[in-house]
Structure formats: structure tokens, C-alpha cells
Amino acid sequence: MRDFDEHNITAAVLDRVANTPDPRLRLIMDGLVRHLHDFVRETEPSFREWEQAIDFLTRTGQMCSSTRQEFILLSDTLGVSMLVDAVNHRLPEGVTETTVLGPFYVENPPELPHGHDVSGGLPGEPVFISGRVSTSDGAAIPGAIVDIWHSDADGFYDVQHAEPMTPSLRARFRTDETGAFHFWSIMPRYYAIPHDGTVGTMLAATARHPYRPAHVHFMISAPGFEKLVTHLFSDDSPYLDSDAVFGVKNSLIRCFTREPPGLAPDGTMLTRPWRRLFHDFALGRQPPAPDAS
């Protein structure tokens, strides 16, 4: 096939990828070519605009390192990360909703006993966080692994500090025989995602802010169940309706109640006001493995 033009070139490229051996890759390449070509026909970019687009993607890649992933940030802020999450989590009724992982998770956080204060001595408003992990019909899941992490009172995660510090505001707990866990920390704050790179340029050009509402991350896993990655958002935080990465869901907005000085549920006596959060997490069962026969 020769003499390519705007009308026949898409079919030519699709013909070239039609013999891709892997069927899944063939499907992906087919969709990519069709949608990318349709995008170009719809927007009709000039040569200068196409050069700018390639430069933007080049600089995005150049910003990526072992501690920063600008492409993930771009995916997040364009809503693609949440879309991928949505198509992979068409969950049954009663299962806790998911949201994005975010860039600040650290593998294998320190495993701590129930009731531990994970703040590492950082200043902030004390918060007692407790929960229960169960099946969608309410049966307790003992021994579930619960990883938690969140920002400090200034809106920064421990890994964002210039000087290396002991892991703080992140930990791992295991649920007891009733599926329960609890710990102490400090209230997280809303914060800006990194916006000193290409993603920040895109946000500014589209008149968007870089902020996320205050939240606590949870990653919960147990044998035989789908891993749950989610947040709980504070209902009094700004930016709930304009989260820069589109991660907020109504079921994940929770009240961190304000409590007076006094005795906490675990017997701790507090001499100043504190906050309290409880949430039930329900896991979905893993689907059976495909029959290999």
C-alpha cells in the first residue's frame, strides 16, 4: 500500500500491526493507533504544536528518577490512573471502594503492635484511628495486613524531607482475631502534589490547582481476597470537590470526630483535645483461577 494520506494511513498502520503474535498486545496496539490517529485528525496540530508535545513528554521522562515518577503524576492528574483503577475494580456490593495508590507508598513499612503511635514525635493534633477488616457479608478477617501512611501537619510525607529521617506516619499492622486494628497518629493536612515540573506546567496552563484533600492511605491484604488500596478523606478538608488526581469518592469521606480531653478507647489519658476515626473495611474475594485444562 502506497500514497498515504489522512484518510488511508490509519488502515495501513493497523494492517502492519495485525500480525502481532500476542493477542493482548495486538488489541492494545490496534486501539492505540486508532485513537491516536483520530485525536490528530480531530485537533489538527501544527508542526510546532507537535514538537512542543514531544518536548513535553521528553522532559517528563527526564524528570523521572528512583524517587520521583513524573509520568505517574501525569497519569494521575489527567484522570487516567483513576480510570485504570475503575476498570480493574468493578466491585460487588458491600466491598470498600478503591482509589489511587499515590507516589509515596514505601514497601515493607515497619510492623508495629496495635495502639502504637506512628507519628514519630512529629507535632500535630492527636488522632486515634481504628478499624475492622471483614468480608462483604461481615465476617471478620483475622491476620490481614494493614499498611497505613499519610502526610504530616504541614502536608509532607516522611520521604519528601531533604534529610533522611526514621520512617514516620507509616506502619504495618495485622488484624486481631476479630479483624480489628488501632493506632495513634496526628491529623494529616491537605497538600500540593509536586508541581515544579512538566505536570505543574500543565496544571498552570489549564488553570488548575495542585492540591489534594487531607487523607490517610490504607493498603489491606489477606490470602484469598483482592488487595484493597484506598484512602479515607477528612470531611472538613478543603479540595474534596477538586482533588488534583480525582481520587475522592463519597463513601471514603469520613468524619474525624473532635473529642475533649479525657480517656481514649485504648485507655490512653489525653490532656488536650484529640480526633477519632473508625472505619469498617470490606474485602472482595479473589475470583477463582482460570481452569488450565
3-state secondary structure of 84: helix
Say whether both 48 and 126 belong to one domain.
no
Determine the pLDDT at residue 98: 97
* Distance separating alpha carbons of residues 279 and 175, to the nearest angstrom: 13
* Distance separating alpha carbons of residues 57 and 198, to the nearest angstrom: 8
Burial class (CB in 10 A: 0-12, 13-18, 19+), 167: middle
The grid coordinates listed for 104 are 509515596
Last residue of a domain, one of 19, 53, 77: 77
Residue 115 lies in a domain: yes
Say whether both 173 and 196 belong to one domain.
yes
Say whether both 110 and 43 belong to one domain.
no
Residue 290 lies in a domain: no
Say whether both 241 and 209 belong to one domain.
yes
Say whether both 266 and 141 belong to one domain.
yes
Say whether both 136 and 103 belong to one domain.
yes
Say whether both 40 and 103 belong to one domain.
no
3-state secondary structure of 147: strand
Number of domains in the chain: 2
Location of C-alpha cell 470537590: 241
Burial class (CB in 10 A: 0-12, 13-18, 19+), 207: exposed
Say whether both 184 and 265 belong to one domain.
yes
Tens of pLDDT along the chain (293 residues)? 678 999 999 999 999 999 999 999 999 999 999 999 999 999 999 999 999 999 999 999 999 987 788 999 999 999 999 999 999 999 888 999 999 998 889 999 999 999 999 999 999 999 999 999 999 999 999 999 999 999 999 999 998 887 766 789 999 999 999 999 999 999 999 999 999 999 999 999 999 999 999 999 999 999 999 999 999 999 999 999 999 999 999 999 999 999 999 999 999 999 999 999 999 999 999 887 666 55
* Distance separating alpha carbons of residues 37 and 40, to the nearest angstrom: 5
Say whether both 105 and 43 belong to one domain.
no
* Distance separating alpha carbons of residues 47 and 285, to the nearest angstrom: 51
Residue 291 lies in a domain: no
Location of C-alpha cell 488500596: 229
Say whether both 196 and 63 belong to one domain.
no
Say whether both 139 and 31 belong to one domain.
no
Last residue of a domain, one of 77, 109, 127: 77
pTM for the model = 0.91
Range of the structural domain that residue 42 is part of: 9-77
Q: For the chain, how many residues are written?
A: 293
Residue 83 lies in a domain: no
The grid coordinates listed for 219 are 493498603
Whichever domain contains 126, its CATH number is 2.60.130.10
* Distance separating alpha carbons of residues 151 and 187, to the nearest angstrom: 8
Nearest residue to 144 (alpha-carbon basis) of 170, 172, 114, 174: 174
Determine the pLDDT at residue 290: 67
Determine the pLDDT at residue 68: 84
Packing angle, helices 80-88 and 70-77, rounded to 10: 80
- For residue 57, the tally of other CB atoms under 10 A from its CB is 13
Residue 4 lies in a domain: no
E-state strands within 139-214: 145-150, 170-174, 180-186, 191-192, 211-212
Residue 84 lies in a domain: no
The grid coordinates listed for 79 are 484522570
Residue 130 lies in a domain: yes
* CA dist 41 → 4, 50, 55, 70 (Å): 14, 13, 21, 28
Residue 289 lies in a domain: no
Last residue of a domain, one of 18, 46, 77: 77
Say whether both 101 and 53 belong to one domain.
no
